């Protein structure tokens, strides 16, 4: 049964939030605001935040820039996960994954199904590792962002969460890079 271990300290993690949208601005980025509020509300650091258009090159440039600068442990994107012509976030991010996190999509869709039913199949939410950085690609609705945070990200980025969590494995994520493959 999942639980918080009171004998373990809280360890803040550095997050970046990327909103992918042709229409959102800082003034009306509700999904980005939701994620930023949830991240900071739990005591984590919002190390970076940006809005880019639905453009593969802009998405890749922003995400890889944050990762290469070493300023984040986790990138969360919101928007561009649907099936229309401009929905390109998974297409931009998935080729960058060194390791895919299949379980994230499964759990996210299970949580989403409980709230919106079969409409969850219209999202290509995905996650994986780029080097030693976790990357989560979420739909562009505040509700979907909240569901992903509450149902997956919040517990997994809390070092006190048992039986296991992402924070405790973070120091070992780049072992494959140190071994040369």
Per-domain boundaries in the chain: 3-178
The pLDDT value recorded for residue 177 is: 60
pTM of the model: 0.95
CA distance 67 to 65: 5
Give yes or no for a contact between 115 and 143, defined as CB atoms under 8 angstroms apart.
yes
To the question of domain 3-178 being in CATH 3.40.980.10, the answer is yes
The pLDDT value recorded for residue 175 is: 74
Rg (CA), the chain: 16
- Series of mean pLDDT values for 10-residue runs along the chain (181 residues): 92 98 94 98 98 98 98 98 96 97 97 96 97 97 97 98 96 72 50
The pLDDT value recorded for residue 1 is: 82
DSSP 10: P
Listed in sequence order, the residues at least 6 apart from 16 whose beta carbon sits closer than 8 Å to its beta carbon are 46, 47, 48, 49, 50, 63, 66, 71, 72, 74, 75, 76
């Amino acid at each position: 049964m999942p639980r918080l271990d009171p004998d373990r300290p809280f360890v803040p993690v550095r997050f970046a939030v990327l909103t992918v949208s042709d229409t959102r601005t800082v003034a009306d980025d509700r999904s980005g605001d939701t994620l930023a509020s949830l991240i900071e509300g739990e005591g984590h650091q919002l190390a970076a935040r940006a809005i880019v258009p639905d453009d593969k090159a802009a998405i890749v440039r922003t995400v890889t820039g944050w990762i290469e600068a070493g300023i984040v442990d986790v990138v969360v994107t919101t928007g561009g996960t649907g099936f229309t012509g401009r929905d390109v976030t998974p297409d931009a991010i998935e080729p960058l994954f060194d390791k895919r996190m299949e379980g994230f999509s499964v759990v996210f869709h299970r949580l989403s199904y409980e709230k919106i039913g079969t409409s969850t199949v219209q999202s290509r939410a995905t996650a994986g590792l780029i080097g030693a950085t976790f990357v989560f690609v979420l739909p562009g609705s505040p509700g979907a962002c909240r569901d992903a945070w509450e149902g997956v990200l919040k517990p997994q980025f809390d070092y006190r969460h048992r039986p296991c969590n992402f924070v405790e494995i973070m120091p070992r994520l780049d072992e494959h890079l140190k071994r040369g493959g």
